[in-house]
Structure 1
């Protein structure tokens, strides 16, 4: 498994999810499975089947989170990053049509369930890396090249430290 990178906030969220699944969710589902199994015939017991499946999903996610947290590298904010786009940056961009977008450049494991986060491995993030405000970034998309202009760069972690 390759070493993944995450922000400090991303690491904390993954750890919180693991703690919740292991300490709260899994014991609750295990109780339901035990109760449903005590009723007898498991082949036609919907409570047993559904919760047994849910327990397997929880166990799969717990295994994934444990492996991920073992191999993750946390990238903390550094004042050297100020003024340029690096990992963890919150970036506002605008295209030639005046369409604005704002997103944060984070690790792959942090993007799920978030429309305002993009992976460091995405074409947009790669085009933006090491750029400053007013620079342009050319992104290769399936529709062709798109030019985006950088309007603002900030680091949420820097706000936390102040």
Structure 2
């Protein structure tokens, strides 16, 4: 019987998201034989059940693309705007998780995403978080991949300017 993993990106955009999506997706498929489902636009995609299958063809060629293949949003499960009203959509997220028979949900995001993932874990969902922020402001992490990637890009740009100046 197959195992299923869901992946979403939430919060602000940052460099390295596609690389992380690809790494998680390929590892789950190639090492563990898992089926990988991407949820579009963060937690809102879980509520609205907007998915895409993440397989070899959809993960191929995304390393050089900016942004995130899945899209992102700053919506939080406990206070999402639906039809002009702020609503707690936790039950809808749990329903989508169960309907897709997910064994785990991987959430890529910053501090707000970490808190939302913790909230879902308290509801009984298996959740893994990958800290992502260009601000490098997530407690108990030395470096997050958004920060490291942004720092590398900025350093490379300064190096190019320096060599151009000479």
TM norm structure 2: 0.23
Indicate the structure (1 or 2) with the bigger Cα radius of gyration: 1
Q: Higher strand proportion, which one?
A: 1
